[in-house]
Amino acid sequence: MSGPTIQDRRRASARIYDAASGRASTVPVRRLGFSFAAEPVHVAQARHRVADLLGSAWGDGPAAEEATLVASEVLTNGCRYGGGRVRVRARISSQRMTLKVSTPAPWRDPEAQPDVDAESGRGLEIVRALAESVSIAADPDGLGVSVTVVCLAAPAPTAAAMRSGAR
């Protein structure tokens, strides 16, 4: 089978510490793991799986839409540049999504800037703008890459917004 495989949804829980209140609480965590052949037709299916899981944890709204866009960009890059099979692992709680996409081949230089007139090449810029954190690591053998992104359900206010009184 060339399409997505190895789907694995489990519910677990995690202890979350809230620095503002000084309290720890237990929140449900949804997990998703699968792989798919690096073919464009499978990216939409993969994106829908992640979006469905996000919707079950966060509902509809801007945070879920942004996290889905981040997932779409990372999944598309994995397909476009990674070749072979793209491995996906997602962990989503009520507050955070951690998405890891791994491929057997390296992607293009993540620091390369696209030409002004280029129609593509801005995916990682979008991901970096919307995600709380982005980590790009080559596999130890140097052949593959893993990209891990973290998105928050309710982004923390920026320092500028806090100074201006916006909350």
pLDDT of residue 22 exceeding 80: no
Token code pair at residue 104: 């057997």
Token code pair at residue 43: 């990216």
pTM of the model: 0.72
d(CA 127, CA 13): 27
Classify residue 3: in a domain, yes or no.
no
Classify residue 134: in a domain, yes or no.
yes
**What CATH number does residue 155 fall under?**
3.30.565.10
CA atoms within 13 A on the CB side of 68: 22
Classify residue 52: in a domain, yes or no.
yes
Classify residue 4: in a domain, yes or no.
no
pLDDT tens-place string over residues 62-119: 889 999 999 999 999 888 888 888 999 999 888 889 999 888 877 766 566 666 676 6
Classify residue 1: in a domain, yes or no.
no
d(CA 89, CA 33): 4
Q: What is the pLDDT of residue 165?
A: 53
Classify residue 5: in a domain, yes or no.
no
pLDDT band at 153 (very low <50, low <70, confident <90, very high): confident
Q: What is the pLDDT of residue 119?
A: 66
Classify residue 54: in a domain, yes or no.
yes
User: Residues 145, 139: contact at Cβ < 8 Å?
Assistant: yes
Classify residue 91: in a domain, yes or no.
yes
Cβ neighbours, 10 Å, residue 81: 16
Q: In which domain, by residue range, is 135 found? A: 10-110+121-163
State the total domains in the chain: 1
